[in-house]
Amino acid sequence: MRLVLLGAPGSGKGTQAEVLKAELGVPHISTGDLLRAAVKAGSPLGLKAKAVMEAGQLVSDDIVLAMLEERLAKPDAAAGFILDGYPRNVAQCEALEALLERIGQPLEIALKLDVPSELIVERIAGRAAAQGRKDDTPETVRERLRVYAEQTEPVAGHFAQIGKLKIVDGVGELAEVSRRIIAALPAQCRNARVNA
């Protein structure tokens, strides 16, 4: 199962990715985690990324894509993967699709968790209060959602155009949302896991 998990910040992507990882037996790959791990390990790509970040710039798509290619070459990704946090724009979608075609692991589905913005604001503000965090104010969260809508929302449109998008209602109890996600997967993927 090769899938991309989409959704606004606070929609529950990370949590559901972990559930899917256990359910499908494929790795959950977060590009943010990949970047941090490469920098910490001091790998050639990590050193490049570190230099860019220390200069106060965004790590280029080329570096992120190269890290992703390295990660997808590992044996645990042979049966598939769950991508979280990438792609963030249509240009990254196209680069990702070209990479996946080249390595013979074309994307099967993009799942988008649909959660109303005001519920996300409540969720994140509640979590921030519980954790004593001051940076996740309702205003900050609304700004992140605005940036998401402007820059990342078109990714869902791209996947819809090529017939790979499924939208899943992300409101409800964790197990209930997980069941909806599993039900949205292509039948061969669900059956392969049941028969594994």
What one-character-per-residue DSSP string does 49-107 give? HHHHHHTT-PPPHHHHHHHHHHHHTSGGGTT-EEEES---SHHHHHHHHHHHHHTT---
Q: Could you give the CA distance from residue 163 to residue 165 in angstroms, rounded to a whole number?
A: 6
Contact between 80 and 186 under an 8 Å Cβ cutoff? The reply is no
Interhelix angle 61-72/44-54, nearest 10 degrees:
150
Catalytic residue among 36, 102, 133, 146: 133
What helix, strand, coil percent values describe the chain, rounded to 5? 60, 10, 25
The answer to whether residue 144 is catalytic is yes
Q: Other CB atoms closer than 10 Å to residue 147's CB: what's the count? A: 13
Q: Is 88 a catalytic residue?
A: yes
**Which of the following is catalytic: 21, 50, 88, 193?**
88
Catalytic residue of the set 36, 74, 127, 146 = 127
Sign of torsion over alpha carbons 158, 164, 170, 175 = negative
User: Of 142, 144, 179, 190, which is the active-site residue?
Assistant: 144
**36 labelled catalytic:** no
Cis ω on the peptide bond leading into residue 44 (within 30° of 0)? Answer: no
Residue 102 designated active-site: no
Q: Specify whether 13 is catalytic.
A: yes
Which of the residues are catalytic? 13, 88, 127, 133, 144
